[in-house]
Structure 1
Amino acid sequence: MNVLWLAPTSHSSKAKHPMPWVTALAQRLLEKGDVNLKVVSYNPFIDRDEETVQDGINYTFLKVPDDKWDLLRGYTGRIKRVQNYLRDIAGQYDLMHIHGAEQQYHVMGSAIDLPKVLSAQGFVTEYYRHLSKRPEYRHLSWLVAGYYEKRYMSSVKHFICRTHWDKSIIRNLHPKAIVHHNWEMIRPEFYTAMKSSTSERNAVLFVGGINYIKGIREALQTVDQLRKTLPIRFIVTGSGRKEDLLEMVTALGLKNVRAEDIEHRGMLSAAQLWETYHDAFCLLHPSYIDNSPNSVCEAQLAGLPVVASDVGGVASLVESHKTGLLTSMKVADMVEAVDSLWNDELLRESLTEEARKVSLQRFDQQQITSITENIYREVLTNP
């Protein structure tokens, strides 16, 4: 079976959103030997089109206009560039697998006469509601992306979803959609269980950088309240710098969390993040909106207790008081949840054990690969 993937995969020049679960699935499909893959991705940062082979997988990176310039044309530059390329090669393939609708890949594939399936990721139309009121580039960019997301969703018949939330969004946007369930691959480092118990650690971990939609302000406020009674630290990974966090502390008027209580470790590899888990007794994920956040999936799989806001599809990952703790977006609720983890080692151990048990089944690589192949066969049978 020859399958053409449209996916925002990473490039050595600059990866805006590498989607490692995509490449992990590609490698497993290739190893099994029943599927031949070609991955097409657009990239405004390269000088010219590039074709390369990585780990036996053929990748094509297409040079497209700069995002901001192309936004002025409604992203028609990138759409037409990729569509023209797809028209030239479509005859070589049996099926098209589109990874996400946020970056117009489903629009690019809409003009191509191939059976299609789309893996749901996030939804720009939902995330847009949580942008700050202060005007910024993303307001216009996401508005245009949201138009394409809704306008062209019906051009695809089959969808792969993971959570109760993404299934409901797809069915709302496209009532006639055929929805398949399958989880996505987790980076291999996190299948290894953590080395030691959480009793030796005193940090709350936040992996959303300085992204306010991921809840960095609420995380800081939670740690500040906890520091009134607990000797905890706060570790942040991802975008930004420690100086940015300290500016937020000042702007929020926080009095209990000091500069020496905060550590910003920057952008980490999977191995580095797994090691960072060993400094924390929990992951705090107070996001305003999420579907199936990798940060939560990876922590549960590796054995780090999770406290997460009950938004989007998170409840499909976290069964509260069984595989983690779900809270509202209220800081007081997050404080109560994190405090209960700190003071109850048996609770931490039970959440860790059950979450890892469920996650090992949920993210079984062989099962995900087999289900993917079965979905491909169903798509070909009912295009």
Structure 2
Amino acid sequence: MKVLWICNVPIPEAKEVMGDETQVRVSWLVGISEALRKKVDLYIAYTSFERTEIAAGKGNQVTFIAVPRNKKAVNQFDEQLEEQMIKVYEMVQPDAIHVFGTEFPHTLSVINASRKSGRNASTVVSIQGLVSIYAGHYTANIPEWVQHFYTVRDLIRHCNIRGAAKEFAARGKYEIEALKKAEHVIGRTDWDEACAKMFNPDVAYHFNNEILRDSFYENEWQYESCEKYRIFMSQGGVPYKGFHYMIEALAVLKRQYPMVSLYITERDFVNPRGIKEKLRLNSYQYYLKKLINRYGLQENIHFLGTLDEKQMCEQYLKANVFVLPSAIENSPNSLGEAMMLGTPTVVSDVGGVKNMIDHEKEGYVYQHDASYMIAYYAGRFFEMGAEAKKITDQARRHASQIFDIEKNIGDLVAIYEKISRIDR
């Protein structure tokens, strides 16, 4: 069976085979593609502004296809991409087409191409996040003055927090149109099913859990090896990821645990090096910096920058607690990674989180805008010490079911087989 994937950017192997210089942000797809290519004839297409013609290259049991787009920014709708996709369909003759994510306008181009070429019934869309919904949560209780504030960087880019939220909403219009036209979607939470059915009551919803990167199946958190009172947060560059909530919680924790530390995978904007770094400060970072200074947390927060898979895994293992304080999520892979490793976890009750973790039995779930509850539950884990393993072992068992590689790949192939028969 021929399966055509359509992604926004290439996985690392595609970059090696095709030589396209583009930012890779889909490392979580690597494991899925490696397992799937052993079961189907896999083609992976991605859009490329550098290309003027469709190009293909052979990788390890997979064919990569670079599809030219006219718009440099991936958040702009490209009227001609639809015809390029039809050409790719004619070239590959896939039995099933799988487009990953709805966040960017190219998904609408794929759906339009599938409808034009009579392949919509064999096309399925995976729901990752939903920008149309995220737009309403983007500002995440940020004060109004901050939402409308501009730094030099924001002025140059003509975009501040409020502008970024509007940009999400603008992309969301294409997302909603794509979902309204789609016949099949793949999801894995009550939240994404509710959203999909809200936009398109007639869409066929297919349940399929994801898989994690290899390192998270191969390691296990141990209390004896972690750094006591150390908290890890996997990202916080945009308001809806809740870094400001975490800072408020850290201020509360510091009263009882002066040695508490937070490690986060963001660049250090508190102590920028040189004028160039200072000018990179955006309005959200400006607000975060004010909070950090207000609470005297300069020595308690450590910025890790960008980490690869193994470095990320190491941070989970070093942490006493993992915190995910987002204002909105679907089924966050970072939560899955923490659970799979057995890192004690405190997570906000948003989106599809309650489909992943059982409060108190596997970790702690709290109201997303109640930052004081982060402090309360993190403190509980601090006081538990090695006893936390009773909770985290249950989280690991649950995660091993959610992220079962063989089952999830088998379910995905079954979805492809089901939709491929519809057009025959």
Q: Does TM, normalized by the shorter one, top 0.5?
A: yes
Q: How does 1:180-199 map to 2 (within 5 A)?
A: 180-194=206-220, 196-197=222-223
Whether 2:323 is the aligned partner of 1:275: answer no
Match of 1:155 among 174, 181, 201: 181
Match for 1:376: what amino acid? Answer: Y
Conserved 8 A contact 1:4-1:96: yes
- State the distance in 1 between where 2:21 and 2:260 align: 35
Check 1:195–1:332 CA distance in 2 against 1; reply closer, same or farther (3 A cut): closer
TM-score by length of 1: 0.89
Sort the Cα spacing of 1:222 and 1:139 in 2 relative to 1 into closer, same or farther, 3 A. Answer: closer
| 109 and 305 in structure 1: CA distance in 2 versus 1, 3 angstrom threshold | same
Aligned length: 377
Q: Percent identity?
A: 21
1:338-375 deviations in whole A, cap 9, x for unaligned? 11111123552122101111111211111111111111
Pair 1:87–1:49, CA change in 2 (3 A) = closer
Which stretch shows the higher mean deviation, 162-171 or 202-211? Answer: 202-211
2:47 to 42, 55, 72: 42
Q: Tell me how far apart the structure 2 counterparts of residues 382 and 87 of structure 1 sit (CA, whole Å).
A: 17
Change (3 A) 1:129 1:338: same
| Correspondence for 1:229 | 256
Aligned to 2:77: 75
Q: Which residue of 2 aligns with 1:204?
A: 231
For 2:378 and 2:245, the matched residues in 1 are separated by 13
The corresponding residue for 1:315 is 354
- Looking at structure 2, the residues matched to 339 and 84 of structure 1 have their Cα atoms a distance apart, in angstroms, of 55
Offset at residue 30 of structure 1 (A): 1.4
Distance 2:326 2:80 in 1: 30
Are the equivalent residues in 2 in contact too, given 1:46–1:63 (CA < 8 A)?
yes
* Aligned residue in 1 for 2:94: 93
Partner of 1:131: 138
Distance 1:163 1:347 in 2: 30
Which residue identity is paired with 1:89?
M
* Closer/same/farther in 2, CA of residues 318 and 15 from structure 1, 3 Å limit: farther
Which letter does structure 1 place at the counterpart of 2:223?
S
CA contact (8 A) 1:207 1:236 kept: yes
Structure 2 partner of 1:337: 377
Kept in 2: contact 1:286–1:309 (CA 8 A):
yes
Offset, 1:88: 3.8
Specify the alignment match of 1:381 in structure 2: 421
Give per-residue Cα distances to partners, 1:220-271, cap 9 Å, x unaligned.
1111210111121110114564536985554126555432222111110110
Letter in 2 for 1:232: V
Kept after mapping to 2: 8 A contact 1:65/1:78? yes
Q: In 2, are the aligned partners of 1:242 and 1:262 still within 8 Å (CA)?
A: no
CA distance in 2, matches of 1:356, 1:165: 23
Structure 1 distance, partners of 2:50, 2:356, is 35
The 3 A distance-change label for structure 1 pair 122 and 249 is closer
Partners of 2:359 and 2:130 lie apart in 1 by 25
Name the SS of the counterpart of 1:37 in structure 2.
strand
Q: Which amino acid aligns with 1:344?
A: M
Q: For 2:66, what is the secondary structure of its paired residue?
A: strand
What are the Cα deviations for residues 286-313 of structure 1, in whole angstroms up to 9, with x where unaligned? 1011001111111111111111110111
The residue that corresponds to 2:107 in the other structure is 106
In 2: Cα distance, 1:309 partner to 1:78 partner: 41
Query: Residues of 2 paired with 1:142 and 1:22: CA distance?
Result: 23
Deviation at 1:210, TM superposition (A): 2.6
On the 8 A contact 1:102/1:122 being kept in 2, the answer is yes
Counterpart of 1:24, as a letter, is: G
Contact preservation (8 Å) 1:204, 1:283: yes
1:220 paired residue among 247, 260, 263: 247
Q: Could you report, residue by residue, the CA deviation over 1:142-161 in whole angstroms, capped at 9, with x for unpaired residues? A: 23321111112132222211
* Deviation of 1:177 (Å): 1.4
